[in-house]
Structure 1
Amino acid sequence: MANGRVGAKDRALTYVKKQVLSGAFAGGELISEGEVAESLNMSRTPVREAFLRLEAEGLLRLYPQRGALVVPVSPDEVRAVLEARLVLEQFAAGKVAASGRAGRDAVFAKMELHIGRQRAADVTVDPDEFLEADRAFHTVLVEAAANPILGSVYDSLRDRQMRMVGESVIQAPGRIETILSEHLEIAKTVQAGDAEGALAAVKRHLASTGRTLGMAIGS
């Protein structure tokens, strides 16, 4: 029985967190334990425990007898995350672009693979694959810089990064093609060993994400 409850709580946590990060549960939306429990065919207890965990992570705000509010992404959070990503990803892009040709080609191949995953993903049906591929694309570049401290800081931004990308795609239906084009530009400049071009491409990509979310960065 205890194992079953733990399994149900984990399932509820995974489900609700994915819905929030993908934007399916939008910022400002009020969700209820009952609706989630019914969707997952389980009791309210594991859903309540999942809600408490997500409140601790800052994704939900609980209101007794009413439900859970999906905490909107604040302008300050958007700016902070995008500015942090700009620093980390530009450093990585510059370092990889300045490396040897074999290394650059290997990084390009991995980045191209994730661009293909994004292109193949049906965001209207399952946004998770698109968001995971988006995250993986950028992670390839950061990991290739071979700086474990930088990588650890970047990994700590994971949930916020995915949520912002999810919201930007929902707010701007044409955003997907823009993302794919910008990713390809980053990958090509890195492969070509064009450090200046790679830094500019990263900045353009993050700036356009910021504009979609109503935030100017990198000025």
Structure 2
Amino acid sequence: MDATAHPSAADRVYQHVRAGILTRRHADNDLLAEGRIADETGVSRTPVREALLRLESEGMVRLLPKRGALVLPVSAQEWRDVLSTRELVETHCIRVVIESGRAPMLSPALARSLADLGEAAAAGDLTGYVSADRDFHAGIVASAGNSILSRLYGSLRDRQLRMGTANLLAEGGFADSARLRRTIADHRAIADAIAREDVADAVRLTIEHLATAARSLV
């Protein structure tokens, strides 16, 4: 294979394996064989190794010589750290958005995310649901207008996607429809409180929403 094709091939493999990890098609502690990944993506082993090295640098896998790559589970401490960070950032941004008078500008974006959540839930599209969930909360953070907090929140994206998928799975690996309905109700309540410009209620509901996620993940 032409060496100049390796970067694009490696990127294609990276996206393929990363998506499998984020959607839990590759579960925690699964061993990913280089040969199988090469067959799935139609490339040689060289770009596969490049992609796995990149995923290892991001903490998603650990390379095992002559065996492949082990999907690393996210530790309970990391779950707690991510949720604590989210609570700090999101509640601060809610206060800023409402107190600065930006709530009316945010509400249409939250309504779109709520519609996306409903459509994904109806279709049983867990990946789409988790993405819409993240967009809802990221929209609140972005509306606060703090670029540093937005970058910090963005750095949590992959962890949030993995956590969100794990949080919404029922026994057997299928989407838990009852849990989807409950989380939609949570998001709608938060959006309503922001639309009413009720800081205390919006903050309380966000804290309760994240606490529910924490209990489910534990």
Q: Settle same-fold status: TM greater than 0.5.
A: yes
Equivalent residue of 1:68, what SS? strand
2:207 to 188, 203, 213: 203
Question: 1:80-123, CA deviations, whole angstroms, 9 ceiling, x for partnerless residues?
Answer: 110000000011112222233xx312211101101211222269
Cα displacement (A) at 1:60: 0.1
The corresponding residue for 1:153 is 152
Identity among equivalent positions (%) equals 37
Structure 1-normalised TM-score? 0.89
Does the alignment pair 1:162 with 2:161?
Answer: yes
Name the structure 2 match of 1:15. 16
The residue matched to 1:170 in structure 2 has which SS? coil
Q: State the distance in 2 between where 1:47 and 1:38 align.
A: 10
Change (3 A) 1:148 1:184: same
Q: Give the superposition deviation at 1:126.
A: 5.4
Aligned residue type for 1:53: R
Question: Structure 2 stretches of 5 or more lacking a match?
Answer: none
The equivalent of 1:89 in structure 2 is: 90
1:33-112 superposed matches below 5 A: 33-100=34-101, 103-112=102-111
Determine helix, strand or coil for the equivalent of 1:121: helix
Higher relative contact order (CA 8 A, sep 6+): 1
Of residues 49-58 and 155-164 in structure 1, the stretch that sits farther from structure 2 once superposed is 155-164
RMSD across aligned C-alpha pairs, in angstroms?
1.9
Q: CA distance change for structure 1 residues 12 and 126 in 2, over 3 Å: closer, same or farther?
A: farther
Q: What TM-score comes out, normalization by structure 2 length?
A: 0.90
Q: Match of 1:217?
A: none
Deviates more, 1:197-206 or 1:40-49: 40-49
Alignment-mate amino acid for residue 31 of structure 1? L
Q: CA deviation at 1:129?
A: 2.6
**Unaligned segments of structure 1, at least 5 residues:** 215-219
Give the count of matched residue pairs. Answer: 212
